[in-house]
Amino acid sequence: MALAIAARHCSSPRSRYIERMGPISFLLNLLWIVFGGLWMAVGWVIAAFIMAITIIGLPWAWSALNMASYTLLPFGRKAVSRADYSGHDIGTGPFGLLGNIIWLVLAGWWLALGHLITAIGLAITLVGIPFAWAHLKLAGIALWPIGKEIVPADAAPLRFPRP
**Gap between the Cα atoms of 105 and 56, Å rounded:** 14
- Is 158 contained in some domain? no
How far are the Cα atoms of 61, 62, 88, 117 from residue 139, in angstroms, in the given order?
18, 18, 24, 10
- Is 69 contained in some domain? yes
Residues 38, 29 contacting (CB under 8 angstroms): no
Q: State the pLDDT at residue 10.
A: 42
pTM over 0.85: no
- Is 58 contained in some domain? yes
Domain extent, residue 104, equals 21-153
Residues 119, 110 contacting (CB under 8 angstroms): no
Kindly indicate the confidence band of residue 8, based on its pLDDT and cuts at 50, 70 and 90: very low
Per residue in 28-51, pLDDT (tens digit) is: 899 999 888 899 999 999 999 998
Three-class SS of residue 148? strand
Domain count, the chain: 1
- Is 37 contained in some domain? yes
- Is 63 contained in some domain? yes
Per residue in 48-72, pLDDT (tens digit) is: 999 899 888 888 888 889 899 999 9
- Is 85 contained in some domain? yes
- Is 74 contained in some domain? yes
**Gap between the Cα atoms of 102 and 56, Å rounded:** 10
